[in-house]
Chains A and B, each alone.
Chain A
Amino acid sequence: MTTSGYSDGYGDTGQATAWRDGRPVYDRGDTVCVIGAGPSGLTAIKNLKEAGFGVDCYERETSVGGGWNYRHDRSPVYASTHLISSKPFTQFPDFPMPDDWPDYPKHTQLLQYFEHYADHFELRPHIWFGTEVVKVEPTDHGRWDVTTRSTGGYGGERIHRYAAVVIANGHNWFPRMPAYDGLDGYKGELIHSSSYKDAAQLRGRKVLVVGAGNTGCDIAVEAAQQANRCWHSTRRGYWYSPKYALGRPTDQVNDTLLWLRLPLRLRQSLAARTIRSTVGDLARFGLPQPDHKVYESHPIVNSLLVYYLGHGAIQPVPDIKQFHRTSVELTDGREIEPDLVVMATGYQPSFEFIDPELLGMTADGKPRLAMHAFPKRLPTLMVAGLLQPDSGVFPLVHWQVVTFARLLRLRDTAPAKAAAVFRQLDSEADKRWTDAKVRGTARHWFEVSHISYLKGIERLLQEATA
């Protein structure tokens, strides 16, 4: 099979079997369409294929890996990106990362892992590279018409009809830029962290890093090492978890407590005590006290931030009040003059190819999905990987798509039962999957606890099997 152009076996060399708006639709029968060949898309192809489905995947880039492939123009990774969850929490549950890799692999190793996954399970023949999805529209009997074209809009559009669609287009590529007074008139250099690629960009400059997320902390640390000066602006106080605690990767220590089934309160107190006794009181460095308990916000894992705060190489500052022509005014009244402002303010999901109503999209752009994956009353559509877990995301996506494949099969073999499972799912559209009450900032509405979420998946799998 070739990957350039459509060839035998793909419907549109023959006669079109249906029409939409006067254009031919090529029916792909029971085949499932996967949008995107990043980690979520790859595991969707692999698990659907394993369950016996035909799969067509569309990928706008010319290689696999999605955001983890630094060659892709939408990739958010920078040269020094490392994992913040250790290997057991990051690898797919049925494809271990090599023993000789470190606890926290680098982004290039992760890409290597996904490329090997694609080769090992022979996924590439299913992927149409350099092809972007323009439109996804429902048609009769729960089937979908998917319009595609070459990335960049060259050539014509084609419509294929699929039995089901898995949306795996990622959520870390569309930069979120908060609004500030005076931002338009600001003449200094300002970039979003998505354009930050290499520490050389910071060398010899006065840098203001905005945002206390994991990326903001990474960049602040690199600025401490490379820049002339580094201000780090954060809105609130956070818990900065070290990468190692008690001689082991912190997430492994954390899951030891979970494995022992300690109650949440006790875990919170143990974790807070461990952080206080190792990291110490951050107020001493001028940071605000955390305004929430441990586990109540997305974990920030960074051992070096505190180290550089202690060396005075990072100067903590509060939120930005407004921008002036050449300076930045902070909420405490100070005015600073950075050469470069890096906005590490995160990303937001974007599904420009589908009617927002189908995903139950609210006015502020949050889709309403059961288990953050299943839209209401659309059993043949799922969103894979729209999760922000307190551990690695890939195992969770693996189980999401395993479940989806199981449910699709159940619709064939036991339709009444499948309908009951989907009714149950529809009633849970607003259920949250966190242990602690997570602070609802604009960024963290799809935050989940890996334990709560996987318990939900396990139950769903049981229902779909029994």
Chain B
Amino acid sequence: MIKVLRQKEWAFPVPAAKREVLRATPELDEGKPPVLFVPGFGHGAWVYHEHWLEHAADRGFPAYAMSLRDNKDATLRAYAHDVAQVAASLPKRAVIVAHGAGALAAAHALARYPARAAVLMAPVFGGVGTALRNPFICLPALFGGRLRLPASQLFSREVPASVARGYAKRLGRASSKAQWQLLRGRAPEDPVGDPPVLVVGSPDDRIVPDSAVRKVARRYGGAPLLFPGMGHDLMLDARWREPIDAILDWLDKS
């Protein structure tokens, strides 16, 4: 059901913040919609800058990659606000492509901004199940520590170890408050504007199990698009081209 009365949101607006936004635009405007890439917790706009941003622009999509606010008191709601803020600032109605726990922030944002379409990749929608499945990652987070995301969990073996270590070193952390809220797992409201939603994942993702990906896909009324053999960070893995091409093909069709 649509929530019309939002007194708490009006009375306590999310504090303003600065956000990093990277951009790659195609040389010729082909009239394709802008694509906004949203990173997961601990990740930043840079993960898309490695390969996907330029690739999407080469295929004719004005591409934008954002970082969530860098604030240790940020809430999940603040992250969702970040996504809606950047999406609404783009020249045209945007497609939101979000990863990991960023997919949950984006799902919340979809209830506050009528995206043209949305893609949720390896979505971490939280809840106790997430914590139980990954106790070593999540245990410290329960006590306000950082989510431990070791390179071996994020990438497939096709990524050379030195490169993977380099990526892992660049990872930051999300706010402890948002990590807590992630574990509590408040379900997002329904999206406004009825956008088509595609869920993407990998059966070999060691952070997000197949069943979790399927569950999110079911919530949005579809089956997930799966890329076997890839790790959690699809955009940085050795075969990064496959998922982004599939996503852009899906956008071209819908």
Contacts and interface: CB of A to CB of B under 8 A. Distances in A.
Interface of A: 50, 86-89, 93-96, 98-100, 119-122, 251-253, 255-256, 258-259, 399, 402, 451, 454-455, 457-458, 461-462, 465
For the complex of A and B, 6 pairs with smallest distance between CB atoms: A99-B16, A259-B7, A255-B11, A256-B11, A458-B4, A88-B10
A119 B91 contact: yes
A255 B193 contact: no
Contacts of A93: 4, 6, 112
B88 A99 contact: no
Given A50-B193, A96-B85, A121 B113 contact: no
Band of interface residues on B: 20 to 34
Contacts, number: 74
A259 B11 CA distance: 8
A88 B9 contact: yes
B93 A120 contact: yes
Contacts of A462: 1
B165 interface: no
21 contacts: A50-B114, A89-B10, A93-B4, A93-B112, A94-B114, A95-B113, A96-B85, A96-B112, A98-B88, A99-B17, A99-B85, A120-B88, A120-B92, A252-B12, A253-B11, A255-B10, A256-B12, A451-B5, A458-B4, A458-B5, A465-B1
A120 B91 contact: yes
Interface in B183-211: 192-194
Classify the interface of chain B: helix, strand, loop or mixed: loop
B89 interface: yes
Nearest to A101: B16
B193 A94 contact: yes
Nearest to B5: A454
Given A50-B193, A94-B112, A94-B192, A122 B4 contact: no
Contacts of A451: 5, 7
A359 to B, nearest CB: 26
Contacts of A259: 7-8, 11
Given A93-B6, A95-B88, A255-B7, 8 more contacts: A86-B13, A96-B81, A96-B112, A96-B113, A98-B88, A99-B16, A120-B91, A259-B8
Given A451-B5, A454-B5, A122 B93 contact: yes
Contacts of B88: 95-96, 98, 120
Contact of A98 (B9, B89, B93, B192): B89
A461 B17 contact: no
A100 B12 CA distance: 17
Interface of B: 1-2, 4-13, 16-17, 81, 84-85, 88-93, 112-114, 192-194
A45 to B, nearest CB: 13
Point out which of B11, B12, B89, B92 has the most chain A C-beta atoms below 10 A from its C-beta: B11
Contacts of B10: 88-89, 251-252, 255
Nearest to A255: B11
B1 A87 contact: no
A253 B12 CA distance: 9
Contacts of B1: 462, 465
Contacts of B194: 50
Contacts of A87: 13
A257 to B, nearest CB: 9
B5 A121 contact: no
B7 A455 contact: no
Contacts of A98: 85, 88-89
Point out which of A89, A96, A462 has the most chain B C-beta atoms below 10 A from its C-beta: A96
Contacts of A95: 88, 113
Contacts of A457: 4
A283 B85 CA distance: 45
Nearest to A460: B4
Point out which of B2, B6, B81 has the most chain A C-beta atoms below 10 A from its C-beta: B2
A255 B114 CA distance: 25
A399 B3 CA distance: 11
B15 to A, nearest CB: 9
A454 B93 contact: no
Contacts of B114: 50, 94
Given A121-B93, A256-B11, A100 B16 contact: yes
Contacts of B13: 86-88, 252
